[in-house]
Amino acid sequence: MRALLLGGGNMGRAIGAALTARGDTIVAMLGRDAATTDPASLAPVDIAFEFTHADAILADTRFAAAAGTRVLVVGTSGWAGDQRLRDAVASVATDAGLRVIVGPTFSVATVLFTSIAVEAARRFGRFRDFDPYVFEHHRRTKPDRPSGTAIAIAEAMLPHLHSKRQARLPEGDGAPDPETLEVIALRAGASPGMHVVGFDAPGESIELRVTARDRSAYVAGALLAADTALADPDLPAGLISFAELLDRATTDH
């Protein structure tokens, strides 16, 4: 297959190595120099991967469309809440007949874990005795907290938790607000990402945990997203989340 890499950082290089190892052709790996490259000169492109910065996503989507790309996988984070940008990217994709797979994480385990956490919230959330919590651990150098994944997990659980009305990092040193789902973020060492969802009752407790070992999990998920989308003729053009794509692939319809 002919593959285009938009972003030549850690993820771009790791995806490039994985594509080369399985025999795909890299037509280009572009960073900020995409602006000076003629996309038509790279056509056709089967799969493209965008791992850069939120500022570059729209231009990169236009670039991928102009290169005749069939499936674009966008892993860049930091734009989930920007509805105008999402609409603009979706509009470019729909006009070009381009399928764009987006995900705050391409870790298959983490995406499926979120569904399991929501199911656990549905089952335990009605019992006030089972007090829920979300806990995450990332490397000391991660600039933000809590992780986008922890926020997504907590927000997806919240509607099913009868005793909680908000989810957030706890503040201060006083007694906790019983109606807050506490999201605890630990920053230490080199962990590439660990998330725990727990329910603690007086006489018993349950914990669900997902741990990323290194970025190879994100690389594998990004390739899986591209291959799955390419193999699905019924997938419409426009934006589709990696979670939805996995849902289509892992449930009987």
Q: Measure the CA–CA gap between 134 and 128, rounded to whole angstroms.
A: 16
Nearer to ligand NAP, 45 or 161 (CB): 45
Q: Measure the CA–CA gap between 222 and 73, rounded to whole angstroms.
A: 7
Q: Where are the beta strands (DSSP E) in the chain?
A: 2-6, 25-30, 45-50, 69-74, 99-102, 131-138, 166-168, 180-187, 194-200, 205-211, 238-241
Q: Where are the beta strands (DSSP E) in 7-76?
A: 25-30, 45-50, 69-74
String marking each residue 201-220 x if it binds ligand NAP according to CB under 6 A: -----------------x--
Q: Measure the CA–CA gap between 252 and 177, rounded to whole angstroms.
A: 41
Would you state the structure tokens that stand for residue 149, as one six-digit string?
A: 């994944």
Q: Measure the CA–CA gap between 214 and 223, rounded to whole angstroms.
A: 16
* 199 scored as a contact of ligand NAP (CB under 6 A): no
37-96: which residues touch ligand NAP (CB under 6 A)? 51-53, 55-56, 75-78
Which residue of 31, 192, 198, 238 would you call a contact of ligand NAP, by CB under 6 A?
31
String marking each residue 92-131 x if it binds ligand NAP according to CB under 6 A: -----------xxxx-------------------------
Nearer to ligand NAP, 143 or 174 (CB): 143
CB 35, CB 58: distance < 8 Å? no
Would you state the structure tokens that stand for residue 250, as one six-digit string?
A: 């892992």
CB of 144 to ligand NAP, least distance (A): 10
Which residue of 32, 123, 168, 213 would you call a contact of ligand NAP, by CB under 6 A?
32
Is residue 164 annotated as part of the catalytic site, yes or no?
Answer: no
Is residue 142 annotated as part of the catalytic site, yes or no?
Answer: yes
* 16 scored as a contact of ligand NAP (CB under 6 A): no
Which residue of 2, 3, 4, 7 would you call a contact of ligand NAP, by CB under 6 A?
7
Nearer to ligand NAP, 9 or 236 (CB): 9
Nearer to ligand NAP, 67 or 161 (CB): 67
Nearer to ligand NAP, 11 or 28 (CB): 11
DSSP 8-state code for residue 98: -
Q: Measure the CA–CA gap between 112 and 71, rounded to whole angstroms.
A: 22
Q: Is the peptide bond before 44 cis (omega within 30 degrees of 0)?
A: yes
| Number of residues in contact with ligand NAP under rule CB under 6 A | 22
* 11 scored as a contact of ligand NAP (CB under 6 A): yes
Q: Measure the CA–CA gap between 6 and 129, rounded to whole angstroms.
A: 49
Nearer to ligand NAP, 120 or 149 (CB): 149
**Footprint of ligand NAP (CB under 6 A):** 7-12, 31-32, 51-53, 55-56, 75-78, 103-106, 218
Active site residues: 137, 142
